[in-house]
Amino acid sequence: MNDLEGYIDFWPEFEPDCEITGADLCFIYSAGQILVRKSEQIEIPCYKECEVLIQDSKDLWYLGTWCGKACFAYALEKKEELDLGSLEWIGFRDSRWNDAIECYQIVVKAQHLLNWDRSTKYCGCCGNLYQRKVDERAKKCPNCGHLQFPRISPAIIVGIKKDNQILMAHNSSFREGLYSVIAGFVEQGETLETAVKREIYEEVGIKVKNIRYFQSRPWTSIDSLMLGFIAEYESGEIKVDGKEIVDAMWCDKEHMPKVLPDRISTAWHIINEIIGLDECEV
């Protein structure tokens, strides 16, 4: 993979070439937090630093290689009362992730995979215990043959432009004062473009045009892959649904809400693309 360096740095695989070694990276996850070295930057510990926390190496999940280093994921059940030494637990909203996007995406992969493993122990068809497949990332029921693959749930997130303004909305589940762009899960059998139109119309009652793809980002919530779009306002008055969205407004660069999405989110990058957050004081 050496010729891919700088092009695709993380290469997903499901089976390592050899046994785990002390230098391999361990993405240890527990209750929404990841174990890192105590440092000003994000540094993922290697196996020899956290071997003592891993009760059974059979429970390690191989993720692939990142810049030539093998990466493993492990779910730690109980993290309280552990002597971590030079390591610490951090959450997904820690600002240090902003400068470690690629590492963040591997962390999201680890979290999705471990959640998938935890929530798919038994066959959904016959209730038998699944077994891990050896030839692909999947589980198979030894009784009825049902296959279970890790799931990704696509969600759209869209910034709406109107002249020099962007539509900012407060969702009832947001922390106080936070405004962001519109987002929602794609329905079965729905195109991304229709999902964009539907979510906007459902939540704020307006129509849009010139929908264009912007960027994507794996996200921590419910195995989602956020697919970012930018659209232009076409018609209608803002009318919030009152359930998901409780307030929405058009904002220009000088009058943005005080609390904006975290910089690591697709939402922040969409807002930045439309109004240029990098240049304004928020």
Residue ranges in contact with Zn ion by CB under 5 A: 123, 125-126, 128, 141, 143-144, 146
Least separation, in Å, of the C-beta of 58 and Zn ion? 22
DSSP for 103-121 reads HHHHHHHHHHHHHHHHH-S
Contact, 201 vs 231, CB < 8 A?
no
**Phi, psi (5° rounding) for residue 214?**
-115, -65
Q: For Zn ion, give the closer residue by CB, 120 or 272.
A: 120
Least separation, in Å, of the C-beta of 141 and Zn ion? 3
Q: Which amino acid is at 196?
A: V
Q: For Zn ion, give the closer residue by CB, 143 or 216.
A: 143
Least separation, in Å, of the C-beta of 225 and Zn ion? 28
Q: How many CA atoms lie within 13 A of 67 on its CB side?
A: 5
Q: For Zn ion, give the closer residue by CB, 1 or 126.
A: 126
Least separation, in Å, of the C-beta of 273 and Zn ion? 46
Q: For Zn ion, give the closer residue by CB, 69 or 140.
A: 140
CA distance 169 to 271: 12
Least separation, in Å, of the C-beta of 123 and Zn ion? 3
Rg (CA), the chain: 21
Helix (H) / strand (E) containing 12 = strand 10-12
3-state DSSP helix/strand/coil percent for the chain, to nearest 5?
A: 25, 35, 40
Q: For Zn ion, give the closer residue by CB, 148 or 171.
A: 148
CA distance 36 to 103: 11
Q: For Zn ion, give the closer residue by CB, 86 or 128.
A: 128
Least separation, in Å, of the C-beta of 117 and Zn ion? 17
